[in-house]
Structure 1
Amino acid sequence: MSRPLTLAVALSLLLSSALATQAQDTGLPEPFSPWLENKPYPEEYKRAYLPEEGEETGRILPNPRDSADKQTLQEYEPDLRPNDKRQSDSSQAELAPSPLENLYSHRAGQPLRQFGYDLFNTGSESLKTEESNAPPLGAVQDDFVLGTGDELQITFSGQRTDQQTYKINTEGMILVRDLAPVPAAGRTIGEVRESIARAVSSLPNTQAYVSLSSVRQVGILVVGHINNPGRKNLTVFHTVLDALSAGGGIQKTGSLRKIKLVRQGRSNTVDLYDLLLHGGIMTDMRLQDGDRIIVPPVGPTVAIAGDVNRPAIYEIRPGYTANGKSRENLSLEDMLNLAGGILVPGQNRFMRLDLDREGRENVTEIENAEARQFGHGAILQVLKSEERRSGMVELAGHVRKPGLHDLTHNRTLSALLDSPDVLGRDIYPLIGVIERWDQEQLATQHFEFSVRSVLNKRDDFDLKEDDKIILFSKTDIYKINQDSKSDLLRSGNTDYPHTPLAQSIGFSPDDTALRSFLKEHGVNVQGAVRTPAIYPVAEGVTLDQLLAVSGGLTMDADSGDIEITSALSVHETDQHPQRRNYDLDETPAENIPVRPGDSIRIKELSRKTEERTVLIRGEVRNPGPYDILPNDRISDLIERAGGLTDQAYPEGAVFSRDSQRRAEKSRFRSAAQDMKRSLAAAVQQDKDAPDAGQIQMARELAEELETIEPLGRITVETDPDILAVKPDLDMLLEAGDRLYIPKRPLTVRVDGEVLSPASLQFRKDKDPKDYIREAGGFTYHADKGRAFVIYPDGSAQPLKASLWNHDAVMIPPGSTIVVPRDPKPFDFIESARDVSQILSNLAITSIFIDDIRD
């Protein structure tokens, strides 16, 4: 056989051996293979761990049959990059779960990690051991054995004063000036100190002080399942654990329990679990030159999940138990010791999960705790049983001391609530709820009580074990009423758990029983109270308590006529609703009982004053806002404003009313919507469709209708002299009225579709045509036939007949001539007959709106 062929066969055998070794090092139980086939993992992932047809064991390296396999193969090929690059990538890989962790986590239903491997997360970067040969901090013990390469520092004092460092030579000797050679290699540093002291004694008046300056390096070989295998240069002070850290830590495919330390032909086993679980010192074994550390594949594993202190995946050794006895499998006690014990003492359930040969998961509840039944691939699931509280009651809601309380010292409700530091300051006193489990009915029952009555010792209730007492705050009740006065509590929408009441008492969206219970105990308080709302109450609550919670009666309340409607009669023989009226002067409120389901109405007296204002502007001596009484009129307002000035022109007053403004705004919005609908319909027509210009004009008009501020003008008389003679013209004022008294004008305003809208000088001999001519004449869009004049008092008259038939029309000063826009471009709109009126109203509004603004 030729030399190249021999080399090729050798390489092939070597690669086959490596693949077989890696296939045995997966650390996966044999039953995992059929189980893995049925799981939704990527095909590349499955091919990396499942055997091919004809193979007996799982494999790590897939065959490069296609591009996907080639990529997977590249991921598993040996990494020949520099060590620092590989360490960087391996530290990132530590963050990702291993295949073993993925499998156990999927089976257990919770994330599980392999125990102990985070010991090497810092890697060799933190140790800096490869280039350090300095001794450890602190004094070196006298039993430290010196060797060739160690350096000693000798300081002389006395007749000879110098300090030098001496290295142990290859013959094991220290050569010191003026002294005979001192043997050092193989001796302890204590023995060498004594030898140097005896040698120095021959020198008169001289002493010597010896210390270790530097230690020799040793060469260590770290191989196996290590992140950065190879030769490491450490010192004799370093240990096996330091060597593993210098190698970048153990891979998760490597064992923590069967690490081999080979020294001078002898092999010792290092178990890191001794250090991790028991603080053992085996890993403190110091290194010697030529030591070899071998990390074999991970051994059998088990997992512990659930309510334990340290859920994880643990490697087990054949023969390992808690007390050191030789057994193949672990007991329940052994498993719990590995996991650091259970979280909560008491009744816990222990389940064993095993895979059979076909990959099926078998679940068994552990009944015999001493049986050795946890082997390779088993999972222990610890399940906490439901907590059983003994001799306790729970206080919840708006309290300062929520949580469990001892029933021995709180056998009654008054004993539980009597402490001054239990209730919050904003406590709702009319109802609390006792939530109790009925063992016979197997259902939760609710009982109401009056917090105030309990605190005042008028009522009390015996408590039972596991009772839950729920209290509320006034804020809770007010927040509930913000959304609905007909429903006491929200019913199941997604916002309900975030209300203050839900947060304070722990409601859940499906806790309908307690919500319905509170709703049934609601009392609807309406009328002259400061906070009308629905208030849940307990039996025994009186009207004075309810009024106190609702903020009390308002100043306008009629305390002589309070109406209470009860759902059921107070007489047991009469089951029909009943309405009763009370006079608080005759029957004190504390003597009037209130029952759940009642409706209370506190009537109001006729108001003598109201919080209403009007605004007057213009030519009065004291313009501004004024409060009004129900019977105030325009003359009263002018008089309170100091009267008219000498320049006032009452004939041109502009009076605007809030109700008219709202109605006008509604008409404008409705007209805009109609115009948009008509425009949309007209655009869809095949014939007589509007052109682009008409569409644009219609859109602008609709937008103007939506945004313009309404005027709401009413024609009124504001001349005080006339009002004094004709009081029937003196209009009553309403809240929101606005009155503007202009100055005596000497102009006539021309506005609308003219070229130059302006206020023109008044002359008796001018007619409307003259004023329009002076304003530049009509624009292209003017509706000449619909021009009109608005007289100073707000009345209007069309100019069509007078303008073209030359009839005389008197245009007094302060009048406004309005030329509206031509509605012809809007003929395609269905409501075109109303467009003229709309355009006229828009023109008037735009002219006078500034006069009545605040």
Structure 2
Amino acid sequence: MPTAHNGKKPSESPRGEEETNASTDLPKVVQNRAPYNMQSLNDLYTQIPSDTHELKRFGSDVFIHRDVSIATSARNSALDVPLGPDYVVGPGDTLSIDIWGGLTQHVSRTIDRDGRILLPEAGSIKIAGLTLGKAQTLIAAELQQQYRNAQVAITVANLRSVRVYIVGDVQRPGGYDISGLATPVNALYAAGGPTAVGSLRTLFHYRGKQLVEKIDLYDFLLHGIRNGSVSFESGDTLLIPPAGPQIAIFGAIKRPAIYEFKEDETVLSKVIENAGGLTTAASLDHIRIERIDANQQRVTITLPGDSGQNPQADQKAIDDFQVKDGDRIRIEPILPYSQRAVYLAGHVVRPGRLPYSEGMHLSEVLGSYRDMLPEPSDRGEIVRLVPPDLRAETIEFNVPDVLIGNANVALRPFDTIRIFGRYQADAPMVTIRGEVLRPGRYPMSKDMTATQLVRMAGGFKRDALQETADLTSYRVEDGKRIVENLATIRIGAALAGNNPDADILLKPGDILSIHQITSWNDIGESVTIKGQVRIPGSYGFTDGERLSSVLLRAGGMLPTAYPAGAVLIRDQVRELELNSRDELVRQIEASSAAARLSPALAGSNGSGTLQLIKAQQDQILTDLKSHNPSGRMVIHIAADIGSWANTPADIELRRGDVLMIPKRPGFVLVTGQVYNATALAYTPDKTAKWYLSHAGGANAAANQKEVFIIRANGSVVGRRSGGLFDGNVLSTKLNPGDVVVVPQKIIGGSLFWRNLLSAGQLAASVAITSGVAVATL
């Protein structure tokens, strides 16, 4: 790997993706939004953008991506190839001398600063300034005097270095030690290349005051010709003067850049030749030149041509046009779209752009149904762009008529032939519901029947009623209203093929409903019995079977059972309770604070009262939301199943019912606004008042008039229950598992508000009793 002056390896940058400017490239355009979604208009709604790409000076990249070691590592470097006989040897060159004949010997000699070398037995001879061929002849003559029949071959083993001065508009002017074989390009490499002002067309090689030669680097950069055949000698000077006249050329040109030109290269055709020539996409009648009138103004010139009608005239205009210093030449491309094309779109196999020819008809584009996707619509259209302003108009046609040759429309350039699919143009759909594998909406094919729709939906499910099905159809009457028609069809016979007349043709929008076999969902229904029975578990039952029957199959109740506290949970009841609770919560939250406050309480401390009402409301809402409805039904059963079997107490069972028979609880629960809410051991024949007193009695926030009792079976005894103990709830005798609830006194004078919160307190308390029963299983 060659090294630079500092001894480090030059950095190598990976070669990236290069920009091209070829005719095969897609045209660079600005795509404007077309008013219709058509490829023809998308092609036409394009603009050729202004080229804002910054141009580089031609040849500048050669010196930017350079390896300075190529020109500076010649000192004492071995040659890989022999030099020609015209090479002039000088001080510093190392010669390799091979002698054979009278004797065989190899010697290596370096020419000293006096231009001499020392030969064996022959002494010192001067060869500096001689060509390699003449030096070999001289050395052979001297050695032949010493050795009989001696033959001599000379090669240069190491080149001398020469000191060359590179000055002018160059990146790093100064003196450089370079190889004696180095060219002006090598020397210019070593100095970093010309500056942005330096010339690439005229370089001067001086030896003292004498001009040795002029060098044009374009010969090398454009044609690979390395002029500058005169080798450098120590003390030579390479001068890079300022650049001469320059022009910029871009657009539909193969090598857009800034070019320097000479006095004999002022015609535009020569500039285009230096730039690699025009691309095939160049428009010869659209060449624009931005010119600077010296020290006055900028002007724009359009190259005179023949508007593309006569290419020879356009080329002659290029050959005759004289460029000037500072010109910016833009070669415009041709139009970015074809002006002789038609477009095929929609429900076709090969959409896209097609060539247009004079006298072209629609049948040449649509030859058969093989040119279209399956199930095309009968309707097609031609969207025509009418000149001169290319406005769009639509011509409809019938696809079958075109295919048989009855409607062969003549085409014009930019026509778009659009074919619709059968399900794109007001797609006819039919619907199947019910007991099929894949119910839903389906596209209606031609002459589709009910049996075909069933098969498309995967056929009947196992629970389908295959005898009959309902078919709902509609018709539009007078274009104003829809009239529905419901018919019953024998779908089973039609599907089995026993009666072809049973199958009917469908119409768009028809709905076919496949029913389920009666009581299919009741197959395998069961109830669960938990707690104090002999054989708890899940039991299947038949439709209409009652609770007593299943309890007998479960072995009856255990002696420890407490049937008065039995809990029957039913899903339907839970859903009703949940809806009722949510509605109660909504009503409480929707009631405004002002409506809760009675006029008697709306005195000077109305705001404080409102805060108390709000706190009470939040507490009751929290209790309601924290106790989910259990779905409990109130039942009245006894341990003697025969005593209540087949009576109104013997209820019919439903799928998912859960019966829980608890043990005898042995306690009564007192809760609510009491000093010590707790469970008290059951004492026979004691009243609610007795249990309340043993719980510490009601506190100051209690509403003692509205105390109520929730029996173990879920029934409620309240002040307004009617006829019990003359309305005195506290004198009621309690049973094990009963709950005494002392509600909170409702703040506020509105009767509606008090009733709402009372209902909320009751609903939250009822949910507690189910938990008491479950705890005693």
TM-score (norm 1): 0.57
The alignment status of 1:173 with 2:116, answered yes or no, reads yes
CA shift, 1:262, in A, is 3.4
Aligned to 1:338: 275
Q: State the AA in 2 paired with 1:795.
A: S
**Larger Rg belongs to:** 2
Q: How many residues align?
A: 665
Aligned to 2:259: 315
Which has the larger helix fraction? 1
The alignment status of 1:352 with 2:352, answered yes or no, reads no
In structure 2, relative to structure 1, the CA distance for the partners of 1:468 and 1:538 (3 Å cut) is farther
In structure 2, relative to structure 1, the CA distance for the partners of 1:131 and 1:141 (3 Å cut) is closer
Q: State the AA in 1 paired with 2:368.
A: L
The alignment status of 1:518 with 2:424, answered yes or no, reads yes
In structure 2, relative to structure 1, the CA distance for the partners of 1:166 and 1:361 (3 Å cut) is same
Determine the C-alpha separation between the residues in 1 that align with 2:610 and 2:136.
111
- % of aligned pairs identical? 16
In structure 2, relative to structure 1, the CA distance for the partners of 1:560 and 1:358 (3 Å cut) is same
Determine the C-alpha separation between the residues in 2 that align with 1:695 and 1:362.
90
Determine the C-alpha separation between the residues in 1 that align with 2:115 and 2:736.
130
Aligned to 2:710: 790
In structure 2, relative to structure 1, the CA distance for the partners of 1:107 and 1:565 (3 Å cut) is closer
What does the per-residue CA deviation read over 1:693-745, in whole Å, with 9 as the maximum and x for residues that have no partner? 869958975995897574263424396948842368635647xx663625325
Greater relative contact order (Cα < 8 A, sep 6+): 2
Q: Gapped runs of 5+ residues in structure 1?
A: 1-82, 92-105, 320-325, 418-422, 473-513
Which has the larger strand fraction? 2
CA shift, 1:602, in A, is 0.2
Task: State whether residues 748 and 814 of structure 1, in contact with CA within 8 Å, keep that contact through their aligned partners in structure 2.
Answer: yes
What does the per-residue CA deviation read over 1:549-581, in whole Å, with 9 as the maximum and x for residues that have no partner? 665666647665433435589xxx999978585
Match of 1:221, SS state, is strand
In structure 2, relative to structure 1, the CA distance for the partners of 1:121 and 1:246 (3 Å cut) is same
The alignment status of 1:660 with 2:576, answered yes or no, reads yes
> In the alignment, which of 635, 660, 677 is matched to residue 717 of structure 1?
635
Aligned to 2:471: 562
> In the alignment, which of 110, 119, 122 is matched to residue 61 of structure 2?
119
Task: State whether residues 394 and 403 of structure 1, in contact with CA within 8 Å, keep that contact through their aligned partners in structure 2.
Answer: yes
Determine the C-alpha separation between the residues in 1 that align with 2:609 and 2:193.
82
Aligned to 2:367: 412
TM-score (norm 2): 0.62
Match of 2:56, SS state, is coil
CA shift, 1:604, in A, is 2.8
In structure 2, relative to structure 1, the CA distance for the partners of 1:152 and 1:777 (3 Å cut) is farther
Match of 1:653, SS state, is strand
Q: State the AA in 2 paired with 1:262.
A: H
What does the per-residue CA deviation read over 1:146-204, in whole Å, with 9 as the maximum and x for residues that have no partner? 44334457799999999997544322334577774465644566776777788788689
Task: State whether residues 149 and 169 of structure 1, in contact with CA within 8 Å, keep that contact through their aligned partners in structure 2.
Answer: yes
Determine the C-alpha separation between the residues in 1 that align with 2:549 and 2:58.
91
CA shift, 1:353, in A, is 6.2
Aligned to 1:744: 663
CA shift, 1:748, in A, is 4.5
Aligned to 2:266: 328
Determine the C-alpha separation between the residues in 1 that align with 2:79 and 2:772.
90
Q: State the AA in 2 paired with 1:796.
A: V
Aligned to 1:600: 510
Match of 2:248, SS state, is strand
Task: State whether residues 588 and 617 of structure 2, in contact with CA within 8 Å, keep that contact through their aligned partners in structure 1.
Answer: no
Aligned to 2:28: none
CA shift, 1:599, in A, is 0.8
Q: State the AA in 2 paired with 1:523.
A: M
Q: State the AA in 2 paired with 1:725.
A: N
Q: State the AA in 2 paired with 1:663.
A: N
CA shift, 1:834, in A, is 3.0
Match of 2:261, SS state, is coil
What does the per-residue CA deviation read over 1:214-246, in whole Å, with 9 as the maximum and x for residues that have no partner? 65254342542x555555554445554455554
Determine the C-alpha separation between the residues in 1 that align with 2:627 and 2:752.
25
Aligned to 2:756: 834
The alignment status of 1:443 with 2:393, answered yes or no, reads yes
Determine the C-alpha separation between the residues in 2 that align with 1:392 and 1:431.
19
What does the per-residue CA deviation read over 1:598-651, in whole Å, with 9 as the maximum and x for residues that have no partner? 211102324432499898584486768x9999x677749967996887476662
Aligned to 1:219: 164
In structure 2, relative to structure 1, the CA distance for the partners of 1:823 and 1:390 (3 Å cut) is same
Task: State whether residues 465 and 516 of structure 2, in contact with CA within 8 Å, keep that contact through their aligned partners in structure 1.
Answer: no
Determine the C-alpha separation between the residues in 1 that align with 2:521 and 2:134.
110
Determine the C-alpha separation between the residues in 2 that align with 1:458 and 1:744.
90
In structure 2, relative to structure 1, the CA distance for the partners of 1:210 and 1:807 (3 Å cut) is same
Task: State whether residues 155 and 209 of structure 1, in contact with CA within 8 Å, keep that contact through their aligned partners in structure 2.
Answer: yes
In structure 2, relative to structure 1, the CA distance for the partners of 1:257 and 1:210 (3 Å cut) is closer
Task: State whether residues 557 and 603 of structure 1, in contact with CA within 8 Å, keep that contact through their aligned partners in structure 2.
Answer: no
Determine the C-alpha separation between the residues in 1 that align with 2:547 and 2:709.
28
> In the alignment, which of 793, 808, 813 is matched to residue 736 of structure 2?
813
CA shift, 1:757, in A, is 6.8
Aligned to 2:84: 142
What does the per-residue CA deviation read over 1:67-100, in whole Å, with 9 as the maximum and x for residues that have no partner? xxxxxxxxxxxxxxxx99xxx9xx9xxxxxxxxx
Determine the C-alpha separation between the residues in 2 that align with 1:819 and 1:158.
140
In structure 2, relative to structure 1, the CA distance for the partners of 1:837 and 1:731 (3 Å cut) is same
> In the alignment, which of 629, 640, 651 is matched to residue 730 of structure 1?
651
For 1:65-104, list aligned pairs within 5 A.
none
Q: Gapped runs of 5+ residues in structure 2?
A: 14-47, 308-312, 356-361, 598-602
Task: State whether residues 115 and 312 of structure 1, in contact with CA within 8 Å, keep that contact through their aligned partners in structure 2.
Answer: no
Match of 1:369, SS state, is helix
Task: State whether residues 648 and 741 of structure 1, in contact with CA within 8 Å, keep that contact through their aligned partners in structure 2.
Answer: no
The alignment status of 1:262 with 2:238, answered yes or no, reads no
In structure 2, relative to structure 1, the CA distance for the partners of 1:329 and 1:789 (3 Å cut) is farther
Match of 1:314, SS state, is strand
Match of 1:114, SS state, is coil
Determine the C-alpha separation between the residues in 2 that align with 1:818 and 1:546.
63
Determine the C-alpha separation between the residues in 1 that align with 2:345 and 2:716.
79
Determine the C-alpha separation between the residues in 2 that align with 1:641 and 1:154.
126
Task: State whether residues 200 and 208 of structure 1, in contact with CA within 8 Å, keep that contact through their aligned partners in structure 2.
Answer: no
Determine the C-alpha separation between the residues in 2 that align with 1:215 and 1:639.
121
Determine the C-alpha separation between the residues in 2 that align with 1:790 and 1:774.
18
Q: State the AA in 1 paired with 2:713.
A: D
Q: State the AA in 1 paired with 2:633.
A: T
In structure 2, relative to structure 1, the CA distance for the partners of 1:588 and 1:805 (3 Å cut) is closer
Match of 1:793, SS state, is coil
Aligned to 2:22: none
Task: State whether residues 257 and 317 of structure 1, in contact with CA within 8 Å, keep that contact through their aligned partners in structure 2.
Answer: no
Determine the C-alpha separation between the residues in 1 that align with 2:593 and 2:219.
85
What does the per-residue CA deviation read over 1:33-67, in whole Å, with 9 as the maximum and x for residues that have no partner? xxxxxxxxxxxxxxxxxxxxxxxxxxxxxxxxxxx
Aligned to 2:29: none
How large is the RMSD of aligned CA atoms in angstroms?
Answer: 6.5
CA shift, 1:448, in A, is 8.7
Determine the C-alpha separation between the residues in 1 that align with 2:70 and 2:694.
100
Task: State whether residues 336 and 342 of structure 1, in contact with CA within 8 Å, keep that contact through their aligned partners in structure 2.
Answer: no
Determine the C-alpha separation between the residues in 1 that align with 2:526 and 2:166.
99
In structure 2, relative to structure 1, the CA distance for the partners of 1:740 and 1:133 (3 Å cut) is farther
